[in-house]
Amino acid sequence: MHVLINEQEIAARVHELGAEIAKDYAAAGDLVFVAVLRGSLCFMADLMRATELPLRLDVLDIRSYQGDTGDEPVISHGPMDSVTGADVIVVEDILERGTTLARAVDHLRAAGARSVEVCTLLRKPGMAAANAPQPRYVGFDIGPGFVVGYGLDYDQHFRNLPFIAIPGEADLAALAADRT
Ligand code: IMP
Ligand code: MG
């Protein structure tokens, strides 16, 4: 594993994002953080505690990845509570082409959200689809390589790493060997 962003760097940036959101939404009536499952769970847990405002928490289940190649995103669940009239912040792990987020944002608008903004921990450069929503909040801009950790997975592995890393050939080969 090659560590790209360590625990301290993540924590510092998440606190900045929380402070920024708290400032921007100080006057919001009904603020809802919607986590895009499952990759954003670590980020959501830290971001909500870094945001000193009353807020609700909800989840949306949307899948776009099999292994490390993209498929069409499908919403299978969520949100659980009403977002009608609410100011929603979609909390995402990583923005690549943006097709996953475009689907999530459409869904929340259709559900009657008053506003929908996006907070993504990571963004890969220059790969966004034309209809991709522009995130209002971005934790880190990274390169195009595949990353894991702090919620992000490769075939459901590595989500529990406390840092963000680029898996090496040996890490992936070890997983393949486990399956045989
Ligand atoms: P998009 O629709 O291309 O923006 O895909 C974004 C989704 O793909 C994210 O929510 C992740 O679940 C997944 N994804 C994209 N890049 C990576 C990566 O480098 N590591 C792990 N998951 C990724
Ligand atoms: Mg995701």
Q: What is the pLDDT of residues 138-177, one digit of tens each?
A: 999 999 999 999 999 999 999 999 999 999 988 888 888 8
Preceding amide of 38 cis, omega within 30: yes
Atom of ligand 1 nearest to the CA of 124: 16
Residue nearest to atom 20 of ligand 1 (CA): 147
Evaluate: CB of 135 within 6 angstroms of ligand 1.
no
Answer whether 15 contacts ligand 1 (Cβ < 6 A). Answer: no
Beta carbon of 146 within 6 Å of any ligand 1 atom: yes
Percentage of the chain exceeding pLDDT 90:
72
Report the separation in Å between the CA atom of 95 and the middle of ligand 1, taken as the mean of its atom positions.
6
The CA distance from 90 to 104, in Å, is 8
User: Which pLDDT band holds residue 50 (cuts at 50, 70, 90)?
Assistant: very high
Give long-range contacts, CB 8 A cutoff, 24+ apart: 134-138.
Answer: 135/92, 135/95, 135/101, 137/17, 137/20, 137/21, 137/89, 138/95
Cα separation, 46 vs 66, whole angstroms: 26
94 lines ligand 1 (CB under 6 A): yes
State the pairing for strand pair 69-77/56-66.
antiparallel
Q: Report pLDDT for 71.
A: 63
91 close to ligand 1 (CB < 6 Angstrom): no
- Contact status, residue 58 vs residue 78, Cβ threshold 8 Å: yes
Q: In angstroms, rounded to a whole number, what is the distance separating the alpha carbons of residues 5 and 9?
A: 6
Is residue 89 exposed (0-12), middle (13-18) or buried (19+ Cβ within 10 Å)?
buried
| Interval between CA 68 and ligand 1 midpoint (Å) | 8
Compute the mean pLDDT over every residue in the chain, rounded to the nearest whole number.
91
Reported as a single tens digit per residue, the pLDDT across 92-148 is 999 988 888 898 999 999 999 999 999 999 999 876 777 788 999 999 999 999 999
Amino acid at 145: G
